[in-house]
Chain A
Amino acid sequence: SQQGEEDPQALSIQEGENATMNCSYKTSINNLQWYRQNSGRGLVHLILIRSNEREKHSGRLRVTLDTSKKSSSLLITASRAADTASYFCATELDTGRRALTFGSGTRLQVQP
């Protein structure tokens, strides 16, 4: 079963706009990670936020984590056509196992 669920399932914006994707999960986590996947390719790691962190930045990316609500958000600022991809949140549970549990993803389309 999917641990994380992303919202929205699909998002279409214009270049230069901001894109916000949300993720909810069910059980206690060690960390939460966001990945990007271009069509038919492997996943590329974007950012990792640990359970004791609330916010993290990397370039145009901003991730927040609210463990009380079991939710996270990914904000991409000043989007570009090259940001068009599927974005997945993945949780690493606090059981010590290194497996990731992925959500169903948000498909982002950035119109030039």
Chain B
Amino acid sequence: DAGVTQSPTHLIKTRGQHVTLRCSPISGHKSVSWYQQVLGQGPQFIFQYYEKEERGRGNFPDRFSARQFPNYSSELNVNALLLGDSALYLCASSLLSGQPQHFGDGTRLSIL
């Protein structure tokens, strides 16, 4: 079975632009979460979606938004990019609460 897939793998943007990152969960997984990992740190929770509804939001500004589609894939949108948004963005899917999360390899976003 295919794991969690994310696209694109790398992206370079300039300040003020917006970006859309995409994630396809493992087949059968209805929960998708997004994390931001800055170099040298652990991942930080951004959003969680289950059955197309937002179930949790981390401490990120309103420039960050996400949605989940009927096929359970998800998009993360970031507007008005700042230099500090440069990071590895990770998507994870899981079957149920209390079960391990399965991570994709992430999208490396660089802001110039």
Contacts and interface: CB of A to CB of B under 8 A. Distances in A.
Interface of B: 4, 31, 33, 35, 41-45, 48, 50, 55-56, 58, 88, 90, 92, 94, 97-106, 108
Interface centre among A41, A99, A105 (most CB of B within 10 A): A99
A102 interface: yes
Given A40-B108, A42-B90, A97 B100 contact: no
Main SS of the interface on chain B? strand
Nearest to A4: B42
Contacts of A35: 103
A9 to B, nearest CB: 10
A86 to B, nearest CB: 9
A112 interface: no
Nearest to A9: B40
A8 to B, nearest CB: 15
A6 to B, nearest CB: 8
Interface of A: 2, 4, 30-31, 33, 35, 40-45, 48, 50, 88, 90, 92, 96-105
A42 B98 contact: no
Contact of A31 (B56, B98, B103): B98
Looking at B35, B42, B100, B106, which has the most chain A CB atoms within 10 Å of its CB?
A: B42
A80 B34 CA distance: 31
Nearest to A104: B42
B39 to A, nearest CB: 10
Contacts of B99: 48
Contact of B56 (A4, A98, A102, A104): A98
A98 B44 contact: no
A56 to B, nearest CB: 13
Contact of B97 (A41, A45, A96, A103): A96
Given A4-B42, A92-B98, A98-B48, 15 more contacts: A35-B103, A42-B103, A42-B104, A97-B48, A98-B55, A98-B56, A98-B94, A98-B97, A98-B101, A99-B33, A100-B35, A100-B45, A101-B45, A103-B42, A105-B41
